[in-house]
Amino acid sequence: MSLSLTILGCHSATPRVNAFPTSQYLEINNSHFLIDCGEGTQRQMRKYKVGFSSINHIFISHLHGDHFYGLVGLLSTYGILSREKELHIYGPKGIKEVTLLQLKISQSHAQYPIIFHELKSKESELIFENDKVSVRTIPLNHRVYTNGYLFTEKEEPRKLHLQNISNYKEIDKADYLNIKAGKDVILSTGEIIPNAELTLPPKKPLSFAFCSDTKYKPDIIPIIKNVDLLYHEATFLSDREDLARKTKHATSKQAAKIAKDAEVGQLIIGHYSGRYKDISLFQKEAKEIFENTELAEPGKVFEI
């Protein structure tokens, strides 16, 4: 079980020479996801050696350009690369229409299946699940319908406690599958050996929460409680809290307060406004509230 997050872009609004809009590549429990797809995403994927073919699921938080204007270019490139595997895209209602229109008008012939999962619920919901990972939405509050996403590893089966098992000669290797599945063992005497005595608990599943553009929204805390890694937008410093409120963005202090109250393992902040030349100020301000805060920067990798 492992988690690795690569920051591809982490700035707000328009792309600049050394500032790319939001996009992240997540590897969790051997599953691979692209989260948001601002302009320049595929350039960044090549620069930081993110495998195009490994991605089968793309999650778009909202339909502001700095979060999805790179999507149609990426889909077109997949067509050029003769992709055959189906690709799943999760995002707000409307993403299918705007994407297919661009592909149609530009005659970008994507021969591979593209499956859209359009979202409209304002409640947290399970939107993806396999035997390794589950993904839930985190309803946010921005100027348009917006979701964050919570990625959680599936819990592994309990492990055999072979030392304890050896105390019971009746238990045979043929019983091991049932024990791993959580079943107790009944001896010939009728004595019940609890499964907890015969197994060891698995490691805690790892989790990552991505909170895209949003105003300060403390009611997301129960959803992201105790996550190992939290990305939360911090467009402004606290000196512009008025502007954050007006534009429905968050400050670095507000992001840190969310992290502290949710008791997360580590906080990553990003989506910096271009008005700030020194992004270290964001970390300095957030650390006053939540010490384990790191800055998102292109190419930076966070691993657990």
CB contact set of 190 (below 8 Å; sequence gap of 6+): none
Task: Give how many domains the chain has, as a whole number.
Answer: 2
The verdict on 235 and 279 lying in the same domain is yes
Per-residue pLDDT of the chain (304 residues; tens, 9 = 90+): 789 999 999 999 887 778 899 999 999 999 999 999 999 999 999 999 999 999 999 999 999 999 999 999 999 999 999 999 999 999 999 999 999 999 999 998 788 999 999 999 999 999 999 999 999 999 999 999 999 999 999 988 888 899 988 898 889 888 888 888 889 999 889 899 999 998 988 888 999 999 999 999 999 999 999 999 999 999 999 999 999 999 999 999 999 999 999 999 999 999 999 999 999 999 999 999 999 999 999 999 999 9
CB contact set of 7 (below 8 Å; sequence gap of 6+): 24, 268, 270, 296, 297, 298, 299, 300, 301, 302
The verdict on 298 and 189 lying in the same domain is no
CA 20 to the chain's CA centroid: 19
pTM above 0.85, yes or no: yes
Active site residues: 66
Of 11, 43, 38, 104, the residue nearest 296 (C-alpha): 11
The verdict on 113 and 242 lying in the same domain is yes
CB contact set of 6 (below 8 Å; sequence gap of 6+): 24, 25, 26, 48, 50, 299, 300, 301
What does 4-55 look like in DSSP terms, one character per residue? EEEEEE-B-SS-BTTB-BSEEEEEETTEEEEE---TTHHHHHHHTT--GGG-
Domain of 231? Answer: 3-156+202-303
